[in-house]
Amino acid sequence: MSGEAINILLVEDNPDHAELVKRGLQSNNVANNVFHVEDGESALEFVFQRGPYVGAKRPHLILLDLRLPRIDGLEVLKALKSNEDSKRIPVVILTTSDAEMDIARAYDYHANSYMVKPVNFEKFKELTKTLGFYWFVWNKQPENQ
Amino acid sequence: MNMAHQHVATSYMEHGYCFSWEAGLVWLHVASDVATGVAYYSIPLAMFYFAFKRRDIVFFRIYLLFATFILACGTTHFFAAYTVYVPAYWAEGYLKAFTALISALSAFLFIPLIPKAIAMPSLSRALDENRQLNAELTRKVDELQQASKTLEQAHYELQLSETRFRATFQQAAVGVAIIGADGGFLGVNSKQCDIVGYSTEELLAMKSQQITHVEDRPSTLALFQKALDGEIKNYAIEKRFIRKDGSHVWINQSVSLVRDLNSVPAYFISVSEDISARRETEQEKERLIDQLQDKTTELERFIYTISHDLKSPLITISGFLGFLEEDFRSQNAAGFNSTVSRISLASERMKQLLDELLELSRIGRQMSPPQQVDLGSLVAEAMEVVAGRISAAGAMVEVQSALPQVEVDRQRLLQVYENLIDNAVKFSANSQPPRVWIGARLDGSEPVFFVGDNGIGIKPAYLDKVFDLFEKLDPRSSGTGVGLAITHRIITIHGGRIWAESDGEGRGAVFCFTLPNRERGARS
């Protein structure tokens, strides 16, 4: 993966939160392109290159919020993980909810990681920094993506 | 007698001569013979008297012969005394001959009778036996009397039992029926009649399947047959009876089959208890439990949603405060303004969320009693509230004339129309021109109120989601996603239904709701 920019799909309905994540990712020194969509339906269209997203780049990582307009985050996760084309794309849940039920269900639907947005700037920065580093420096992904 | 006299006259001497007329000797003989003769005579006289009194003498002829024989012997003694003074020896001789003849005859007839006489029970034995028989008879009579008493007692008790049974049968708090193997009623008590509303006479002319609800007939019949086949002795079933007036009543029926001495099914005894009240209570209980579960689920979802959505602005505020600090250190003035504006918007949004949540929680707790409201003037009032947005969007709003009267919490229904008109104008703002229409129609007999627009529309899959709390189909739209949740809650509390209709994206949307009519409102 070296040299090539990393494509991250950020599924987040709150523009402020999206901004926070984007800024955090910029500070980790891993070159990346963040594509931001605001609802579950757009997320699926982006991944499967449908509708307005025909020709969209295939993401190397998906950051997925749970409470989304139209199609709920868990539904998006289920759709991604039950599709042969998309099931190997790592999906990291990034949400405000720390409800046990949400965490359990996310893993039931094969989420690769589950993170709760911290209500603290330093921690939020730390999280987004570590996140990029972990998934693109240390983590190995299948080559045939 | 003449011949006797002749003899006397002619030849013999008196027998006294033989005693030499010695006075003592003569008197000894004469007195002895007379005494013997008297004694002899007294016996047959007693015998005749006895025979006269008792006609049941056995061997009667021998008895008479014996009497004659003793009489004859007595006569010979009198004659012996007579011949002491008169020598009538021929006469005495004839008499003796006669006596001898009678004696011989008696002996001749008597001796063969001895074995028979021996065989005859003696009087004492007979008396003994008689006593025994009498005792036995007395005992038997006693026994009979005892048996008769017992029988009387049993009869009395039977009557008592019958009376008790009748009273129990008739006054039982449960319906009791005796049903033949063909299902026909053989007997019913008054409670059974009460339960189904038929008279005793009517029921006795009917079959049990006629008062069984048609849906319960197969199961009842199956159990009936099982009992007849001997697979079961009794059964209990909860089912419905059809009353005479056609209504149905839930009962708990216990049925047992009585067989006769040859094990042939004789009749069924059916005991039916009216459990309508119990069933109603149970249904009410289930309804309340369901309601409570719904409330709990709703509350859980509410808390989940709130905790999630209230946290969002906090994350924004704390995040951008951090950037503000960074911008300040790096003297980045350009970023500064936009960051501050994000922070203030987020706190604004948080305030709005809290206000609306408070509003949502007030609905249901703070409701005014329903009142008659003219819907036309209420809609006009709602339009005044959102007049600013209507004119800003340049929307054309058509209100159907002659809207009906409704019975509602006026303030809450006003809120409903404000929300729906505001939404309609907001989502049709980009149409050319934006159009909103408000009215009422009849679905069957039920009035349906609607607010429609020619706006962005809703995909069919999301038609139900629009009423969820904080649910915003368009993330860019203004508002918190509480408005329709509040609207939904107000209509639900009024006992009505609310739903959205749309042919899809870009094809407008119509929000419809019902309000229960007054009768239904009164019942709930």
Structural domain contains residue A48: yes
- Of B274, B309, B329, the domain-final residue: B274
Q: What is the DSSP letter of B116?
A: H
> Cβ B316–A121 below 8 Å, yes or no?
no
Q: Mean pLDDT, 10 residues at a time, over chain A (145 residues)?
A: 75 91 79 88 93 90 88 92 93 91 94 93 88 84 68
Rounded CA separation B41/B91 (Å): 19
User: From CA B450, how far away is CA B514, in angstroms rounded?
Assistant: 9
In percent, how much of chain B has pLDDT > 90? 33
Q: Is a pLDDT exceeding 80 seen at residue B100? A: yes
Q: Do B453 and B391 belong to one domain?
A: yes
pLDDT computed for residue B215 by the predictor: 92
List chain B residues with CB under 8 Å of A95. 308
B410 and B452 belong to one structural domain: yes
Query: CA angle at residue B196 from B194 to B199, to 5 degrees?
Result: 65
Q: Do A38 and B475 touch (CB under 8 A)?
A: yes
Q: How does pLDDT run across B336-364, given as a tens digit for each residue?
A: 888 888 899 889 888 888 888 888 888 76
Q: Which residues of B touch A (CB under 8 A)?
A: 304, 307-309, 311-312, 314-316, 318-323, 325, 342, 346, 459, 462, 465, 470-476
Instruction: Give the closest-approach CA distance of B311 to chain A in angstroms.
Output: 7
Residue from B62, B66, B65 nearest B112 by CA: B62
Distance CA B451, CA B516 (A): 18
Q: Do the chains contact at A16 and B342, CB–CB below 8 Å?
A: yes
- Looking at the structure, do residues B336 and B231 belong to the same domain, yes or no? no
Among chain B residues, the shortest Cα distance to A23 is held by B323
B515: containing domain:
371-523
Beta bridge partners of A94: A115
Supply the pLDDT for residue B149: 93
A108 vs A111: CA distance, rounded Å: 7
Question: Of A38, A70, A99, which has the smallest distance from its Cβ to B462's Cβ?
Answer: A70
Q: Looking at this protein, which amino acid is placed at residue B214?
A: V
pLDDT at B520 over 50: no
- In a domain, residue B418? The reply is yes
Question: Does any domain span residue A12?
Answer: yes
Residue B406 phi, psi dihedral angles, 5° rounding:
-130, 160
User: What region does B69 belong to: left with phi over 0, alpha with psi -120 to 50, or beta?
Assistant: alpha
- Whether residue B218 sits in one domain with residue B86: no
The residue of chain A with its CA nearest to that of B306 is A97
Q: What is the CATH number of the domain that holds B225?
A: 3.30.450.20
* H-type alpha helices, B54-187: 60-85, 89-119, 123-171
Domain that holds residue A103: 6-138
Q: Quote the number of domains for chain A.
A: 1
> Which chain A residues contact residue B319 at CB under 8 A?
16-17, 20, 121, 124
Q: Are B450 and B439 in contact (CB under 8 A)?
A: yes
All residues of chain B having their beta carbon less than 8 Å from the beta carbon of residue A125 are 322
Q: Which of A12, A74, A96, A120 to mutate to test the interface with B (most CBs of B within 10 A)?
A: A96
Do B266 and B343 lie in a common domain? no
Question: Residue B53 falls within a domain, yes or no?
Answer: yes
Residue B225 resides in a domain: yes
Whether A20 sits inside 8 A of B315 (CB atoms) is yes
Residues B34 and B96 in one domain: yes
Question: Is A73 domain-assigned?
Answer: yes
> Using CB atoms and an 8 Å cut-off, which of residues 64-93 of chain A contact chain B?
67, 69-70
- Structural domains in chain B (count): 4
**Co-location of B192 and B269 in the same domain:** yes
Q: What is the pTM of this model?
A: 0.54
Q: How confident is the model at residue B432 (pLDDT cuts 50, 70, 90)?
A: confident
Give the residue from B311, B317, B328 with the most A CB atoms within 10 Å of its CB, the best one to mutate: B311
Report the residue of B305, B306, B312, B347 to disrupt the A interface, i.e. the one with the largest count of A CBs within 10 Å. B312
Q: Please check whether residue B156 lies inside any domain of the structure.
A: no
Task: Please tell me whether residues B88 and B53 are part of one structural domain.
Answer: yes
Q: Do B319 and A122 touch (CB under 8 A)?
A: no
- Which chain B residues have a beta carbon less than 8 Å from that of A67? 308-309, 470
CA–CA–CA angle B428, A51, B507 (5° rounding): 25
Residue ending a domain, among B53, B87, B119, is B119
Residue A10 tokens read as 């950020």
| Shortest distance, CA B439 to any CA of chain A (angstroms) | 29
pLDDT of residue B306: 79
The first and second tokens of residue B387, run together, are 């007049």
| Predicted confidence band of residue B329 (pLDDT cuts 50, 70, 90) | confident
Phi, psi of B69 (to 5 degrees): -60, -45
Count, residues in chain A: 145
A119 vs B: CB within 8 A = yes
Kindly state whether residue B141 falls inside one of the protein's structural domains.
Answer: no
Question: What average pLDDT does the structure give for chain B?
Answer: 86
Does the N-terminal peptide bond of residue B369 adopt cis geometry, omega within 30 degrees of 0? no
Shared domain check, B405 and B319: no
Q: What is the ipTM of this complex?
A: 0.86
Any domain includes A143: no
Residues B31-51 have a mean pLDDT of 88
Q: Is residue B165 a part of any domain in this protein?
A: no
- B321 in the same domain as B244: no
Tell me, yes or no, whether B438 and B506 share the same domain.
Answer: yes
A97 touches chain B (CB under 8 A): yes
CB A40 within 8 A of CB A72: yes
**Amino acid, res. B264:** V
Q: What share of chain B is helix, strand, coil (3-state, %, to 5)?
A: 60, 15, 25
Choose the mutation target among B297, B300, B316 for the interface with A, i.e. most A CBs under 10 Å: B316
Q: At residue B305, what is the residue type?
A: T
Query: In B, which residues are within 8 Å of A70 by CB distance?
Result: 459, 462, 465, 473
Helix (H, G, I), strand (E, B) or coil at B382: helix
Of B499, B522, B496, B508, the closest CA to residue B413 belongs to: B496
Q: Residue B269: pLDDT band by 50, 70, 90 thresholds?
A: very high
| Residue that terminates a domain, selected from B327, B362, B397 | B362
DSSP string, B26-38: HHHHHHHHHHHHH
| DSSP codes joined into one string, A64-115 | E-SS-SSS-HHHHHHHHHTSTTTTTS-EEEEES---HHHHHHHHHTT-SEEE
Over residues B463-486, the mean pLDDT reads 76
Shortest alpha-carbon distance between residue B479 and chain A (Å): 13
Measured in degrees and rounded to the nearest 5, phi and psi for residue A32 equal -150, 155
Q: What is the pLDDT of residues B138-194, one digit of tens each?
A: 999 999 999 999 999 999 999 999 998 888 888 888 999 999 988 899 999 999 999
pLDDT at B55: 74
Residue B475 confidence (pLDDT): 62
Residue A96 is nearest to which of B308, B322, B342, comparing CB atoms?
Answer: B308
Distance from CA of A84 to the nearest CA of B (A): 25
Is B519 domain-assigned? Answer: yes
Alpha-carbon gap, residue B362 to B357, rounded angstroms = 9
- Which domain CATH number covers B443? 3.30.565.10
Q: Does B132 fall in a domain? A: no
Q: Do A69 and B314 touch (CB under 8 A)?
A: no
The residues pairing with B123 across neighbouring beta strands, listed in sequence order, are none
Q: Which CATH number fits the domain that encloses residue A129?
A: 3.40.50.2300
Name the range with the highest mean pLDDT among A28-42, B13-27, B41-55, B276-290. B276-290
Q: Judging by beta carbons within 10 Å of its beta carbon (0-12, 13-18, 19+), is residue B258 exposed, middle or buried?
A: exposed
B385 shares a domain with B250? no
Average pLDDT for B408-436: 90
* A46 is a domain residue: yes
Pairing mode of beta strands A32-37, A6-11: parallel
Report the pLDDT value the prediction gives residue B242, as an integer from 0 to 100: 92
Residue B109 has a pLDDT of 82
Buried b (16+ CB within 10 A) or exposed e, B444-470: eeebbbbbbbbbbbbeeebeebbbebb
Name the helix (H) or strand (E) containing A131.
helix A121-133
Asked, for residue A125, whether it belongs to a domain, the answer is: yes
Chain B residue numbers with beta carbons less than 8 Å from the beta carbon of A121 are: 318-319, 321-323, 325
CATH code of the domain covering residue B324: 1.10.287.130
